[in-house]
Amino acid sequence: MNYTQTEIWLIICLMAIGTFAIRYSFLGLIGSRRIPTLIEQMLRYTPVAVLPGMVAPLVLWPTDATNGVTILHLGAAFAALFVAYITRKVIWGMLAGLVVFFSPLIITLL
């Protein structure tokens, strides 16, 4: 399907307006009122739910289709999960996963 330049810009503008409307409907309309405690507690788990949702497809279906899922992918995911669980810090888990994933490259450079 071919779009003209005007149609592309129209689509971009409509998507921007739609995205703004969705976010404004939640954040802007609340104003200075306090968010209910139950919703505030639920929102605290958003990063915990989003990060695995972004990482799991990369671990289970890596972009390098010739090798598929490797021990390296699974090891890095396990290290990240284990360190994040023990330390209760997501950043330490991410760093542990990076170190394990890039350890073969680091070893070859030494």
pLDDT of amino acid 98: 93
**Contacts of 55 by beta carbon, 8 Å cutoff, 6+ apart:** 77, 80
* pLDDT tens by residue, 55-67: 888 888 877 666 7
Write down the pTM of the prediction. 0.58
The percentage of the chain sitting over the pLDDT mark of 70, rounded to a whole number, equals 97
Determine the average pLDDT of the residues in 89-108. Answer: 91
Contact 90, 47 (CB under 8 A): yes
User: Does the pLDDT at position 30 exceed 90?
Assistant: no
Q: Residues, the chain, total?
A: 110
Six-digit token string for 37: 């405690």
Tokens 């915990």 sit at which residue? 48
User: Does the pLDDT at position 110 exceed 80?
Assistant: no
